[in-house]
Amino acid sequence: MSKKISSIDVLFLAMGAMLGWGWVILSGEWVATAGFLGASIAFSAGGLLIILIGLTYAELATAIPETGGGIAFVQRAFNMPLAFLAGWSVLFGYMSVIAFEAVALPTVIDYISPLNHHIHLWNIAGSDVYLTWALIGSFGALLLGALNYRGIKSATILQTVFTIAIVGVGFLLIIGAGYNGDSENLKPYFSGGFDGLMQVLIMVPFMFVGFDVIPQIASEVKATKSIGKILIISILSALVFYVLIIYGVSIGLPHSELLTSKLATADAMSNLFDSPLLGKVLVVGGIAGIITSWNAFVIGGSRIMYAMAIRGMLPQWFAKMHPKFHTPSNAIIFLTALAFLAPLLGRQALNWLVNAGSIGIVLGYLIVTLAFLQLRKLEPNLERPYAVKYPKTIGWIAVLLSIGFLSLYLPGMPAELNFPIEWSLVLGWYLIGAYFLLGHSKGKYHQKSFLSEVKSR
């Protein structure tokens, strides 16, 4: 792939992926659950944990700047089957986010300007699906797919513009908080005690999903040696943004209103400026977040599929590179088709998919952090432009944290997956993966020449 992505593009790609739409709909819940200081502490602690995991990615992405990121790292450290598991797991999470954003778009547009939808199709899990509603998300999928199909540069330009819009709207809320906020609204500083803090903490890892898109496109970045620093800066920037938003929402609404507000971030903006219009402006910023998150995961997901296909892990159809635009065109077409059809599943069905897909993201983190430690043993002299200090300490803490995050999905834990639906989705996804793994392993992962090329590097 051609190197067309600048360092600024990389920064906005990761930030846009992490910020997304979640801060608009969830910030009120964070404050209501744990209080202003409780939510701030939870995000600060969770962000620190993510930074430690991010450090392992930062070192590996600069040392092995290949398309597919974690797949390349794990393959080099261990073997192809484990590399397949890492790639397949992260792809599960990426595809679930892509599907969810296709549903979030018509949902948010309805909030700004309620529409009278027509042609009722069906009801799934209590969610009515109308054709006119679904077509909004499907049309968005086509536009975003076409943009990515035509080249990475156009997609990163859109990412930069829309991420600036998100940050701009967010800081407008902060300015209002500084000038018009009522410090009495910050009380109670803590709510829900230790349980409240933990309920917010378990959400934190999933608010930072997206920094790992950077390693997926490493081979397309002009200045590969800067990738590590940019990755860490992006996580720190997202952390600061989240904490400032918590402050803005906390000081902008009394606690009693937080408990009853359907969209506290927008209500806080309206209250701070005494303008319902600015509340809708903030929601428009939320739409920008939907686009940036969606766009980033199409970019990252298509590169994962391409990286797996050239290694023979997926059918070669996904390895097709467009001769003019130099994009993994068939992988982008597939992800666009997924997003086009996703709104037909309704809102609730996609919540199941996102919850189940999150376990894949965390499993991917775990395998990559193990690869980080293994490569330090196997290749101590590997050139590492962004070398982590105290690698054993950082690596093992990252491994333990990944295991800790993964355990949160188990039965009886705070973020346990729903049984049988969400666990069935997880089982089904990995059974499909087993089919591809066993089927393509018969051809020794497509070709021995690829393995010999990797070893020579």
pLDDT tier for residue 431 given thresholds of 50, 70 and 90:
very high
What integer is the mean pLDDT of 411-423? Answer: 81
Q: Which two tokens stand for residue 43?
A: 């995000």
| pLDDT tens string 368-408 | 999 999 999 999 999 999 899 999 999 999 999 889 888 87
Residue 448, pLDDT above cutoff 60: no
Domain assignment of residue 2, yes or no = no
The confidence score (pLDDT) of residue 66 equals 86
Query: Which of 232-241, 344-353, 419-428 is predicted most confidently?
Result: 232-241
Residue 445 confidence class, pLDDT cut points 50, 70, 90:
very low
Instruction: Indicate the burial class of 406 (C-beta count within 10 angstroms; 0-12, 13-18, 19 or more).
Output: middle
Q: Which of 163, 162, 140, 159 is nearest to 151 (CA)?
A: 159
Peptide bond into 106 cis (omega under 30): no
321 closest CA partner among 337, 310, 313: 310
What is the mean pLDDT of the segment spanning 140-159? 88
Lowest average pLDDT, out of 63-72, 253-262, 413-422, 441-450, goes to 441-450
Residue 278 lies in a domain: yes
- pLDDT reported for residue 396: 94
- Which pLDDT belongs to residue 283? 86
Structural domain for 257, as ranges: 7-455
The pLDDT of 310-316, averaged and rounded, is: 90
The mean per-residue pLDDT over the stretch 60-81 comes to 89
Q: Which CATH number does the domain housing residue 395 bear?
A: 1.20.1740.10
pLDDT value of position 302: 93
Does pLDDT of 449 surpass 50? no
Does residue 18 form part of some domain? yes
**Considering the chain, what is the average pLDDT of its residues?**
86
- Share of residues in the chain with pLDDT > 90 (%): 35
In a domain, 1, yes or no: no
Burial grade of 424 (CB within 10 A; 0-12, 13-18, 19 or more): middle
**pLDDT for the residue numbered 456:** 43
| Confidence bin at 441 (pLDDT 50/70/90) | low
The mean per-residue pLDDT over the stretch 55-61 comes to 92
- Percent of the chain at pLDDT > 70 equals 95
pLDDT reading at 227 higher than 90 = no
Number of structural domains the chain divides into: 1
d(CA 216, CA 298): 11
Asked, for residue 356, whether it belongs to a domain, the answer is yes
Specify the higher pLDDT residue, 295 or 3. Answer: 295
Q: Are 69 and 61 contacting, i.e. CB atoms less than 8 angstroms apart? A: yes
Residue 428 makes CB contacts below 8 A (sequence gap 6+) with: none
Out of 234-243, 300-309, 332-341, 436-445, pick the least confident. 436-445
**Among 12-16, 275-279, 332-336, 443-447, the range of highest mean pLDDT:** 332-336
Which pLDDT score, from 0 to 100, does residue 417 have? 81
pLDDT at 251: 92
pLDDT at 452: 41
